[in-house]
Structure 1
Amino acid sequence: MTFEALKPQVETIVSNPNNTVDTALLKICELLEANITYYNWVGFYFKNGDKNELKLGPYVGEPTDHTIIPFGKGICGQVAVSNENFVVPDVAAQDNYIACSITVKAEIVIPIFVNGENMGQIDIDSNTADPFTTEDERFLEFVCEKVSGML
């Protein structure tokens, strides 16, 4: 399914008044993982209160031990500090990478801004080497923008 075809489905999920935030986030994870073949783990991390750390939110994929990530650590922690997209074509080439699974080859992390503040991010792992394109970035920025409206 194309990114353009997925956009209205994302909008439907976030605008459904019967969905709690966590339910909507989980449904977005399920939608992306089911429809984009190289999205093998899809999840959200959010700033953990006033602490300089991220806390795992809804996700789909293999279970992870990384439920808390300090700012600056790993790809997610770096995005929490830089406030910028981070596309990793080859995780083995990253010094500051937290391995969630030996099958992961690439990762993309896009921050979620609420009123200009980085409140969290969507994190996607792929078992395919170098699968992410500019189209993935633009689509995931769209997803994060829609999610920010719920927070």
Structure 2
Amino acid sequence: MKIADLKPKVLEILQQPELPINHKMQAVCDLLQSNVDTYDWVGFYMAHETEPTLHLWNQAGEPTDHTVIPFGKGICGQVAVSNKNFVVDDVHAQDNYIACSIHVKSEVVIPMFKDGKNIGQIDIDSNTPNAFNEEDERFLEWVNELVAAQL
């Protein structure tokens, strides 16, 4: 499915007032992981309020042991510090990469902001090298804006 075709489905999920935000975030993970061929693992990591760590709130795909990530560690931890998108075309070329699966070839991490503060991120792993482009970045930024507005 094309990314543009997913926008109405994301909106439909996030506009359900009866669903708690955590359920909405899980539904978004499930939707993206099951409908975009190169999105093999999709997760939301959220920043801890008092400690410099990220905590896995939701995920779709293979289970991961990486449920808490210190700021600065791995791609997610680097995004927590830099506040910038990070697209990794080849995870094996990164020195500061936390391997979640031997099958992962590329990754994209997009920070999520609320009132100018980095509160978390969406993290997507792909078993395909060079899987992500600018269209993915813009789409995921949009997803994060909608989710952050409900937090």
- TM-score by shorter chain over 0.5: yes
Q: Deviations over 1:39-70 (max 9, x none)?
A: 00000000112100000111011111111000
Aligned to 1:106: 106
Q: Could you tell me how far 1:112 is from its partner in structure 2?
A: 0.5
Structure 2: segments with no counterpart, 5+ residues? none
Aligned to 1:30: 30
TM-score after normalising by structure 2: 0.98
Alpha-carbon RMSD = 0.6
Aligned with 1:44: secondary structure?
A: strand
Aligned with 1:45: secondary structure?
A: strand
Aligned to 1:76: 76
Aligned to 1:46: 46
Aligned to 1:10: 10
Q: Percent identity?
A: 58
TM-score after normalising by structure 1: 0.98
Aligned to 1:61: 61
Q: Could you tell me how far 1:8 is from its partner in structure 2?
A: 1.2
Q: Could you tell me how far 1:86 is from its partner in structure 2?
A: 0.2
Give the partner amino acid of 1:146.
Answer: L
Structure 1: segments with no counterpart, 5+ residues? none
Cα distance between partner residues in 1 of 2:31 and 2:103 = 21
Cα distance between partner residues in 2 of 1:75 and 1:48 = 17
Aligned length: 151
Q: Deviations over 1:103-134 (max 9, x none)?
A: 00000000000011000000000000111011
